[in-house]
């Protein structure tokens, strides 16, 4: 009986240790570790099962192993990234929505949500030709300004805005990531949509590269510190959570995750079918230090495997 319980526990501990070891080493590893890192908090379950098996079989080495893993998991479940409030007075408050509509299937649901919630900026991923036409017809009057790169399947993206937009170079990627500069009540705000490739088996190098390109873009924006820096909103489906090293590199440029600022940083956005009971937060609204965030809500839209993220933000005057 002791051997029968020990072996399953050891296998569970080995699997969890591989994922936790990569988190400790600040690397995303290789498939399947890269994918499992998105669900790091849920590894408490197999670790707990292994602990019970180790206790049942009186395998004390396994008990110590389990306790060490549980301690590391608890440590890394803590939120990552900077917080802090901008020092200057508020200049403008507005609402930002990001939504992956999954090949355009959730476009009608998105239109309903936009009409109901009235965001000022809308970042839409996986918006193909039919999606783009629907958004233009249904929302064109209320959102007369747009930055779009429309393509078939999952490659198209669009930014809808109540504020006037000036064209700006987006970040190159396999899927479209358009950019623009918004005139928010007389204040320039750089907008950038994020939609890197997902970490598919055999495609983690491309995923890592495109997240790296987003990181380089954010770092370049941050380098122009002082009065010349334009406030930045980087939003979309990052296909990465705070447990991925490639995503943490983006936060390390100084950007703040709006859900981190509103204590919603562990609320899953994908897959919508199992969220919020089970999932990972891979949809984000990242803000430069010029912003504060007052609230973040998650919207369930029929037709997509992502939950939409709605945030209320305030632009502050730089000290």
Cβ-in-10-Å burial (0-12, 13-18, 19+) of 152 comes to exposed
**Of 242, 197, 249, whose CA–CA distance to 222 is shortest?**
249
CB 244 within 8 A of CB 279: no
Q: Which pLDDT does position 226 carry in this prediction?
A: 55
| pTM of the model as a whole | 0.95
Q: Which pLDDT does position 2 carry in this prediction?
A: 58
CA-CA distance, 142 to 281, in Å (whole number)?
29
Before 32, cis peptide (omega within 30)?
Answer: yes
- The CA dihedral of 55, 59, 65, 69, to the nearest 10 degrees, is -30
Domains contained in the chain, CATH given: 2-77 (no CATH), 90-316 (3.60.10.10)
pLDDT by residue for the chain (319 residues), tens only, comes to 456 789 999 999 999 999 999 999 999 999 999 999 999 999 999 999 999 999 999 999 999 999 999 999 999 999 999 888 887 999 999 999 999 999 999 999 999 999 999 999 999 999 999 999 999 999 999 999 999 999 999 999 999 999 999 999 999 999 999 999 999 999 999 999 999 999 999 999 999 999 999 999 999 998 875 556 799 999 999 999 999 999 999 999 999 999 999 999 999 999 999 999 999 999 999 999 999 999 999 999 999 999 999 999 999 998 7
CB 50 within 8 A of CB 5: no
Q: Which pLDDT does position 229 carry in this prediction?
A: 79
Q: Which pLDDT does position 22 carry in this prediction?
A: 98
Residue 28 backbone phi and psi in degrees, to 5: -95, -5
How far is CA 50 from each of CA 1, 23, 56, 146, rounded to the nearest angstrom?
Answer: 15, 20, 10, 52
Token readout for 216 is 């380089």
CB 304 within 8 A of CB 106: yes
Q: How many helices (H) and strands (E) does the chain have?
A: 9, 12
């Amino acid at each position: 009986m002791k051997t029968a319980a020990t072996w399953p526990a050891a296998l569970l501990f080995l699997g969890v240790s591989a994922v936790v070891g990569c988190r400790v080493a600040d690397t995303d590893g290789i498939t399947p570790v890269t994918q499992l890192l998105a669900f790091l908090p849920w590894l408490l379950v197999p670790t707990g099962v292994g602990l019970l098996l180790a206790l049942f079989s009186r395998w004390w080495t396994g008990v110590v192993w389990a306790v060490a893993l549980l301690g590391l998991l608890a440590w890394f479940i803590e939120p990552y990234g900077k917080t802090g409030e901008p020092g200057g007075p508020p200049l403008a408050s507005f609402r930002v929505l990001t939504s992956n509509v999954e090949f355009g299937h959730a476009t009608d649901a998105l239109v309903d949500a936009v009409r109901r919630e009235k965001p000022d900026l809308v970042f839409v991923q996986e918006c193909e030709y039919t999606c783009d036409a629907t958004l233009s017809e249904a929302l064109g009057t209320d959102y007369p300004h747009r930055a779009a790169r429309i393509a078939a399947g999952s490659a198209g993206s669009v930014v809808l805005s109540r504020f006037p937009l000036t064209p700006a170079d987006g970040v190159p990627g396999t899927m479209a990531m358009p950019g623009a500069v918004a005139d928010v009540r007389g204040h320039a705000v750089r907008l950038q949509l994020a939609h890197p490739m997902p970490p598919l088996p055999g495609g983690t190098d491309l995923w890592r590269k495109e997240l790296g390109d987003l990181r380089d873009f954010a770092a370049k924006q941050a380098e122009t510190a002082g009065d010349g820096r334009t406030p930045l909103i980087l939003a979309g489906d990052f296909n990465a959570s705070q447990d991925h090293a490639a995503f943490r590199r983006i936060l390390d440029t100084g950007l703040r995750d709006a859900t981190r600022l509103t204590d919603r940083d562990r609320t899953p956005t994908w897959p919508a079918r199992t969220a919020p009971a089970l999932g990972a937060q891979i949809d984000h609204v990242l803000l430069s230090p010029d912003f504060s965030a007052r609230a973040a809500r998650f919207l369930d839209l029929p037709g997509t495997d992502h939950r939409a993220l709605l945030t209320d933000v305030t632009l502050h005057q730089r000290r």
